[in-house]
Amino acid sequence: MTTSCHLQALEAHLPATSLSNDDLAKLVDTSDAWIVSRTGIRHRRKLADTENASDLGLAAARNALATAGLAASELTHIITATCSPDHVSPSVACIIAGQLGAGPVMAFDFSAACSGFLYGLSLGRSLLAQAPESRILFICTEALSRRVNWQDRSTCVLFGDAATACVLTGEALPGVAPTPSGVGGAVLEDVICQSDGSQKDLITVGGGTSCTYRLGDSVQEDFFISMQGRETYKHAVRQMTGSCEAILQRNGLGMADVDVFIPHQANMRIIEAVGSRLGVTEEQLFTNLEQYGNTSSASIPLALSEALAAGRVKPGARVLMTAFGAGLTWGAALLRF
Ligand SMILES: CC(C)(COP(=O)(O)OP(=O)(O)OC[C@H]1O[C@@H](n2cnc3c(N)ncnc32)[C@H](O)[C@@H]1OP(=O)(O)O)[C@@H](O)C(=O)NCCC(=O)NCCS
């Protein structure tokens, strides 16, 4: 039995509409200068009224299958990380499975908020350990603009919509088209996923059964994202730094052994604080939050796909990723290309 987990055919899909900081300054009392200085974010994408998280995920999934040279009928699993699904049920994974014509695959969503990509890699590795011949379509899709309170300036400036998809397999797929930089796929070297439910109230995304509305009621604040920004910031820096140190240490590695560092794209100040504690150099760091804001589970794979397209990840490169999100959840992972 193998426990190898190969990540291949990573593709992204972004909605067409982009909102600038100046656009948001027309909705709430904020400014481009405040948002850039506190977060580093300049733009974020917003899905159309006619789109849902599943539509973004479906587009990314179609791209990933085409790149992998796989038919939907060859898939064994479709798993989706999302904290902004179309519905509580059916799952986004089932909706996408139906639209792809995937057949009777195992399909489900899971919620690990912004740590979703790392949790999904860990889950994928476990599924592959059970059945190494599996072909897992792993989607991260978020429509957080639907859960943002557009009257709350402390949160509405932070988030954006995006989706990514990749294929996880026990062995490298021969048909996978390399990225423009000549890189095909990666092996998951290690992954750590952790949580602390005692801090559940620091970031919440509403819309579940705790919202006790009856037909005809208007939604209240609990329906939307709420966040205690300062406390969240401190936990994010502590946990992302700690999980990176732990994963490097248990693999006998140091930051000098890492070629590219891709942290969760939530906030430039958090990234800089984590980077300075770990000793990350400018050459190692990759960010794209300036363009997209915090896209939750899609944030790390979206950045990784852009780093690959930009030629920042060379064949043989080791990539260190770290995430933090509601739950609280956090983690780190090492990929070898
Ligand atoms: C959200 C965050 C940028 C706010 O920055 P901050 O320096 O902590 O700001 P505070 O929340 O203390 O607010 C300071 C002031 O700015 C104001 N403010 C908040 N958002 C604002 C905005 N978009 N524009 C202008 N002013 C704003 C606050 O109302 C407050 O005003 P007051 O002093 O008059 O009450 C910061 O806390 C943060 O990055 N937190 C982590 C967020 C995150 O990444 N979460 C996701 C993790 S997955």
95-108 per-position pLDDT tens digit: 999 999 999 999 99
Catalytically annotated residue among 5, 94, 114, 156: 114
Q: How far apart are CA 117 and CA 138, in angstroms?
A: 9
Q: How far is CA 214 from its chain centroid? A: 33
Q: Closest Cα to atom 1, ligand 1: which residue?
A: 229
Q: How far apart are CA 243 and CA 122, in angstroms?
A: 14
2 pLDDT higher than 80? no
Top mutation candidate among 28, 147, 154 for ligand 1, by most atoms within 8 Å of CB: 154
**162-169 and 135-142 as β-strands: parallel, antiparallel, unpaired?**
antiparallel
Kindly indicate the confidence band of residue 3, based on its pLDDT and cuts at 50, 70 and 90. Answer: low
- Which atom number of ligand 1 is nearest to the Cα of residue 227? 45
CB count, 10 Å around CB of 128?
26
User: What class has domain 186-336?
Assistant: alpha beta
Q: How far apart are CA 218 and CA 53, in angstroms?
A: 23
pLDDT of residue 39: 97
44-94 per-position pLDDT tens digit: 999 999 999 999 999 999 999 999 999 999 999 999 999 999 999 999 999
Structure tokens at 106: 């195992």
- Which atom number of ligand 1 is nearest to the Cα of residue 39? 3
The rounded mean pLDDT for the chain is 95
Structure tokens at 91: 């799952």
Q: How far apart are CA 280 and CA 3, in angstroms?
A: 30
18-29 per-position pLDDT tens digit: 999 999 999 999
**DSSP summary character for residue 145:** G
228-259 per-position pLDDT tens digit: 999 999 999 999 999 999 999 999 999 999 99
1 pLDDT higher than 50? no
Domain boundaries defined on the chain: 6-169, 186-336
List the beta strands (DSSP E) in the chain.
6-13, 17-20, 43-46, 77-81, 106-110, 135-142, 162-169, 186-195, 203-204, 226-227, 260-263, 318-325, 329-336
62 lines ligand 1 (CB under 6 A): no
User: What class has domain 6-169?
Assistant: alpha beta
260-317 per-position pLDDT tens digit: 999 999 999 999 999 999 999 999 999 999 999 999 999 999 999 999 999 999 999 9
34 lines ligand 1 (CB under 6 A): yes
Asked about 264 being catalytic, the answer comes back as yes
**329-336 and 318-325 as β-strands: parallel, antiparallel, unpaired?**
antiparallel
326-337 per-position pLDDT tens digit: 999 999 999 999
Q: Closest Cα to atom 27, ligand 1: which residue?
A: 154
